Structure 1
Amino acid sequence: MNNMVLVITGAAGSGKTTLCKYLCEHYHLPKVVTHTTRAPRTGEQNGVDYYFENDASFARKHFLESVHYAGAQYGSSMEGLQAAWQKAPLACIVLDTKGAVEYLKQLGNQVAVLFLTIDVGPNSSEALRKRMEARGDDPVKIKMRVKSAEYARDQQLPSALVGHAVVIKNNELKQAKQQADQFIEQLLAKLQ
């Protein structure tokens, strides 16, 4: 089989970045570095966590998908994906649900999707907000994000991903990792 990309998607605060980091470290998967015009969070490094861009440099990239979200632009380039594939046949990327749908449209069977959610009853949205606060997000930006249409959209698996995505409830990270391990082992077996 050709190269593949594992797309991890779901609501803000659902643990996408944490799970991607775990899978990249545990399975030596290269992370597809994406681009953003937002300011770096504490500890983030250019070219590692994101390529931090300004509006002009962002406009010059060749994107598979891009989105304007919470006052900033985000996108992933074909060049970034190719660079990851030069390191290994299975790469990992974190995208919003719209980006995941776009990847599936453009890359077809080269895409595997994990959709993360949390299920703590009627307070799931509050739990996600607390996770964003705990990771150091700006409280004003959290309020903007929670009120956005994109945030509401990313709460549920899009119909275009039904049948293509594996859903993992990330209430407890250890269990989520175990489910992701099973999925990755199946993908790696396909690539051999």
Structure 2
Amino acid sequence: MSSDEARTTRGLMLMVVAPSGVGKTSLTRRLVADHSDLHLSISATTRAPRPGEHDGRDYHFVDRAEFDRRIEADDFLEWAEVYGNRYGSPKAPIMDALARGQSTLFDIDYQGAMKIHAQAPADCVLVYILPPSLAEMSRRLHARSQDSEEVIRQRIARAKEEVSLWKTFDYVVMNDDFDRAYAELAHIYHAERLKASRNLWIEPFVEELLDEPIEG
């Protein structure tokens, strides 16, 4: 068995869910930057770009007609309408990456994560990022000045609903200290990559071990 064959693995889909204003984007972008085998899923969306966002890097920005065409073509692992805009995760590039041993990180909402998990539970790892408090979450949302007061109230109400569902996740991380939260998220990813079920090299390697003649 060659060295490459000996380490053949299947990638995983890392679902990171958190309310807006909790620091999920900073955590996930750093995790992707630090791991060459982990890539961010770039969703398609019908919403307009925010200041500093770029098509193809942050999202694939499309109009509703194009989004509907992709739904009809079954091009999404999941899609949902959130606050009047549609978001969808492309299917083909993600499944191809898993087969090549590459993992995909989803910066995704609860509804989307559950839809993908229902389709491929063995490939999914669910992580929820908790805010240190709802007051701090509200402060961060106001500080970034991207949402109206009504939208901020909706986001906080939705956060309360999601937090109550914490038992549906594989892991829960609190982002009260960024470095600690990042270290915990990275440990989760490393451990999941090492799971025997994802390391396809183990079975043939063990078979060779058992067939290996013992001298002396």
- TM-score bin, normalised by smaller chain: 0.7 to 0.9
Runs of 4+ in 1 over 4 A off after TM superposition: 83-88, 148-152
1:16 maps to 24
2:84 maps to 71
Q: Choose 148-157 or 14-23, whichever is displaced more.
A: 148-157
Question: Quick check: 1:103 aligned with 2:116?
Answer: yes
Distance 1:57 1:153, change over 3 A: farther
Q: Choose 128-137 or 25-34, whichever is displaced more.
A: 128-137
Unaligned runs of 5+ in 1: none
CA distance in 2, matches of 1:46, 1:127: 30
Considering only CA atoms, is the larger Rg found in Structure 1 or Structure 2?
A: 2
CA root-mean-square deviation: 2.3
Distance 1:174 1:70, change over 3 A: same
Question: Quick check: 1:137 aligned with 2:146?
Answer: yes
Identity fraction in percent: 25
Q: Tell me if structure 2 keeps the 8 A contact 1:15–1:170.
A: yes
TM-score, normalisation: structure 1: 0.83
CA distance in 1, matches of 2:62, 2:20: 21
Give the total of aligned pairs.
183
Q: Tell me if structure 2 keeps the 8 A contact 1:12–1:154.
A: no
CA deviation string 1:1-33 (max 9, x = no partner): 532110100212222221110110011211111
1:171 maps to 176
1:51 maps to 60
1:156 maps to 164
**CA drift at 1:179:** 0.6
Unaligned runs of 5+ in 2: 1-8, 200-216
